Amino acid sequence: MTFQHFQQIAEPAIRPAYAWDFEIREETPADALAREVLLDSAMGPERRLKTSERLREGNRPAPGLALAARGSGGDLIGTLRLWPVFAGGDRSALLLGPLAVAEKARSMGVGGGLMREALKRAADGGHRAVLLVGDAPYYARFGFKQAYTRRLTLPGPVARDRFLGCELIPGALAGAHGLVRAAIIPSLYCETTRLAA
Ligand SMILES: CC(C)(COP(=O)(O)OP(=O)(O)OC[C@H]1O[C@@H](n2cnc3c(N)ncnc32)[C@H](O)[C@@H]1OP(=O)(O)O)[C@@H](O)C(=O)NCCC(=O)NCCS
C-alpha cells in the first residue's frame, strides 16, 4: 500500500478523537534540550547505541522535517524527525525516527498526528520513500511494510521484521538493494570537512 492509498483508504478510519489538545510545528533550536530529555525518558540512554543512530550522527534532519508536538501549556509532548539517506546506491529516501511521545500524553493521537504530518510534509516536499526501524504493529497503520526493505541492509545489526519502508511515490523502493547510508546535507558536509582539515 502506498502513502497515497493510505491517505485515501486508511486515514479516516484511524483518525482518533483527540482527547489531548496539542499542536504540531517544526522544531526550533530552543526545543533541543526538552527533546533529548523526552527521548531519554521514552527510550533510555541506550537509544544512542541503535543501528539507526549511525545514520543520524553527523547528519541533520531533512529541511522542514524535524517536528515537535506541544501541549496546550506549550510543553514538548512529542518529537519526530526524518533524515536524508540513500536507500542503496544513489536512491534518495528518508529515515524516520526517533518517534516518542511523553508518557502522560500517550494513546491520544499525538504519535499518529506526528506520523501523518511528517509523511504529508515529506510527500509535499517531493521525497519519494521513507525507511524506519520500529514496531511493525504500530507503523503498519501508516503504510510501512517489511516487503520494501528485504534487499536493503543497515550499517549494523537490525531485526529484519523491524526494518520497514513506505513508498510516498508508487515504485520508489522497487528493486532497492544494498547498504543504506546517510546523505549528509552539503552545508554540514562543508563544516565537517573544514573542521577535520
Ligand atoms: C509509540 C508511541 C510513539 C506512540 O505514541 P502515541 O501518541 O501513544 O500513539 P497514538 O496515540 O497515535 O496511538 C496509540 C495506539 O498505538 C498503540 N501502540 C503504541 N505503541 C505500540 C507499539 N509499539 N506496537 C503496537 N501498537 C502500539 C497503542 O496501544 C494505541 O492503541 P489504541 O489506539 O488501540 O489504544 C509512544 O507509545 C512512545 O513514545 N513509546 C515509547 C517510544 C517508542 O517506542 N517509540 C517508537 C519506536 S518503535
CATH fold group of domain 3-196: Aminopeptidase (3.40.630)
Q: Residue 156: which region, alpha, beta or left (left: phi > 0; alpha: psi -120 to 50)? A: left
| Grid cell 511528517 in the structure block, residue | 118
Report how far residue 94's alpha carbon sits from residue 103's, in angstroms, rounded to the nearest whole number: 26
- CB within 8 A of 165, min separation 6: which ones? 87, 93, 129, 130, 131, 132, 144, 145, 146, 147, 148, 149, 152, 173, 176
For residue 177, count other CB atoms closer than 10 A to its CB.
14
Rounded CA separation 93/105 (Å): 30
Tell me the CA–centroid distance for residue 104 and ligand 1, in Å. 12
Q: Is the CB of 112 under 6 A from ligand 1?
A: yes
Q: Which of 107, 132, 139, 162 to mutate to test the pocket of ligand 1 (most atoms within 8 A of CB)?
A: 107
Pocket test of ligand 1: the residue of 106, 114, 119, 146 to mutate, having most ligand atoms within 8 Å of its CB, is 106
Ligand 1 proximity of 101 Cβ (cutoff 6 Å):
yes
Note the pLDDT tens digit of each residue in 11-37: 433 444 455 689 999 999 999 999 999
Pairing verdict, β 152-153 and 178-182: parallel
Query: Is the Cβ atom of 42 under 6 angstroms away from ligand 1?
Result: yes
| H or E stretch at 42 | helix 32-43
Q: Per residue in 98-129, pLDDT tens?
A: 999 999 999 999 999 999 999 999 999 999 99
The pLDDT of residue 90: 96
Q: Which helix (H) or strand (E) is 92 found in, with range?
A: strand 92-101
Per-residue pLDDT, 184: 82
The protein residue whose alpha carbon is closest to atom 26 in ligand 1 is 138
Residue 156 · residue 179 · CB < 8 Å: no
Whether ligand 1 lies within 6 angstroms of the CB of 108 is answered as yes
Locate 78 and state its grid cell. Answer: 512529542
100 close to ligand 1 (CB < 6 Angstrom): yes
pLDDT digit string (tens) for the chain, length 197 residues: 344 444 433 443 344 445 568 999 999 999 999 999 999 999 999 999 999 999 999 999 999 999 999 999 999 999 999 999 999 999 999 999 999 999 999 999 999 999 999 999 999 999 999 999 999 999 999 999 999 999 999 999 999 999 999 999 999 999 999 999 999 865 544 444 444 43
Asked whether 77 and 70 are in contact (CB, 8 A), the reply is yes
Using the atom order of ligand 1, give the atom closest to the CA of residue 134: 48
Alpha-carbon distance of 91 to 86, in angstroms, equals 5
Report the DSSP pairing between strands 178-182 and 22-26: unpaired
Name the residue among 69, 144, 146 with its Cα closest to residue 110: 69
